[in-house]
Amino acid sequence: MKTADNYAMADFSLGFFPICGSIIATVTGSAALIGGAGKGFELGISYFITVISFVSFTVVGMLVLGPVIRKLRLYTVPELFSRRFGKIAALIPALIIGFLYMTPTFGMQLVGMSSILSSVTDIPFFWGIILGFAVTIVFTLIGGMPSVAWTDAIQTIVILAGVVLALVMGVAYVGGPSAAIEAAPQRLLQFGSIGTSQLLNWFLVFGPFYLVWQTTWQRLTAAKSTKVGISAVVIGFIISGLIGILAIFIGIAAYPMFEVGTAPDTVYTSFIAEVFPGPIGGLLMVSLLAALLTGATSFLLSGAINISKDIYEGWINPTAGDARVLRASRLSVCIMAIIGLVIALLVKDIIAIYQVALSFTASALVAPVLAAMFWARATKAGVIASTIGALVASLGWRLAGTPFGIHEIAPGLVTSIVLLIIVSLSTRHSEDESVVAYFHWFRRRRLADNADQIESSVISTIEPTGAAASDSKNRL
């Protein structure tokens, strides 16, 4: 990697296959496979609500906002804040995404990789984390976005084959589809068995977050064209949703094989170890390890861009040249990886940490991003108040024990929207703001371009060409 753009964005030249594959491999990490099978074992098909949520939000978001994101050539989500509301407004989102979301999520992948290694080898859990850390950081430091995207794409094939094989052979092991259905309790086969409030909680936890998921934005911007980027992201998420559904079915099929009270996060790996002979079981473990490794590299690289672009280049050294930004990107990878390693070694319930990070990120960033796209009246003061207020509300709601069984993302989103509107209407735009709603700006620009193209086409049809044009000029 010789330039920062090549390292971070593959020189904006990625095609359909690496983008689509990278999306699938990153979405299909430990939360989707291990967590999805565990929730299928625990909640059944009610957990489908998460798949419905993140696929629908992403598809609609990409079809509506994808062309705008691509036109703005955004490296990160905070860069949108910086352009629209000034660089002070971008600092908090950069810290949230880089350290509150990406870093703990990277640590979660290390824990998952170590769990696999320690279950099939004699490697202790501690050294499994260290090994996963070493492989991931070296790989990310050397290759950057091109290597991450292409290995993601190739490993997607392994991941998809592994999940399909696990479900097919697992169902056959318990006696076929009818036997699996008869053995599962009815609550696992009823979509609304967990109740309306829990369905709403799961829907809100996953859906809004993927509107501001930086990995999607980066893959879209790194594409060689808008059409390639949007189609690759949309299809990638649809396939990721199908893999998520298969993981849930694996958890349901595994129900008769394990005692009530079995830890849900152990169901996927225990199911594989119980059902499959060594070679096939090894292949399925490799597919799971591939998912965790690709997720870890993507989270590292994505968060490092926040630190190098939004914090280092945005605040510390705005005049930094390409070589310095490239060094800052690699240094950011090291910083994030070390913090993630500490989290992986010290935090016991890392899945809970991940859910908190996901919900806090969504509650703080969704409303400001939509305001930047659709509401020109939003002000910098309103966005800053909205972001901080959402974090405080979400944290306070969680510390209070999530009253009424409502997840903290709901009060966080409501607080964010209310503060954004009230404070924006009560304040004026700052001098460093660009007072524009980017979605409407993009539509006006596209209409103007289309009008110019039509005018040029009409002129070309009525103006003489060739010998007639030459003769016309001579007469003039």
pLDDT digits (tens, 9 = 90+) for 127-150: 999 999 999 999 888 888 888 888
Take residue 378 and report the two structure tokens written for it: 């939003």
Amino acid at 45: I
**The total number of residues written for the chain in this structure:** 476
CB 117 within 8 A of CB 412: no
Which parts of the chain have pLDDT scores under 50? 464-470, 472-473, 475-476
Q: What pLDDT, on the 0 to 100 scale, is given for residue 475? A: 44
The pLDDT of residue 476 is 40
Given this model, what pLDDT does residue 456 score? 63
Q: Which two tokens stand for residue 408?
A: 């903290």
CA 94 – CA 75 distance, rounded (Å): 12
- 10 Å CB burial of residue 195 (0-12, 13-18, 19+) is exposed
- Per-residue pLDDT, 166: 86
Task: Give 67-116 as a DSSP string.
Answer: HHHHHHT-SSHHHHHHHHH-HHHHHHHHHIIIIIIIHHHHHHHHHHHHHH
Per-residue b or e along 444-468, where b marks 16 or more CB atoms closer than 10 Å to that residue's CB? eeeeeeeeeeeeeeeeeeeeeeeee
Task: Give me the pLDDT at residue 237, please.
Answer: 95
Question: Which H or E element spans position 19?
Answer: helix 16-27
Alpha helices in 306-437 (DSSP H): 322-346, 350-374, 380-399, 409-426
Q: Where are the alpha helices (DSSP H) in 121-211?
A: 125-173, 177-183, 196-206
Tell me how far apart the alpha carbons of residues 455 and 458 are, in angstroms, rounded to a whole number: 5
3-class SS at 223? strand
Taking the C-alpha atoms of residue 74 and residue 77, their distance in angstroms, rounded to an integer, is 7
Model confidence pLDDT, tens digit, residues 202-232: 999 888 999 999 889 999 999 999 999 999 9
d(CA 317, CA 87): 13
Handedness of CA 182, 184, 185, 187 (dihedral sign): negative
Note the pLDDT of residue 468: 45
Q: What is the pLDDT of residue 377?
A: 95
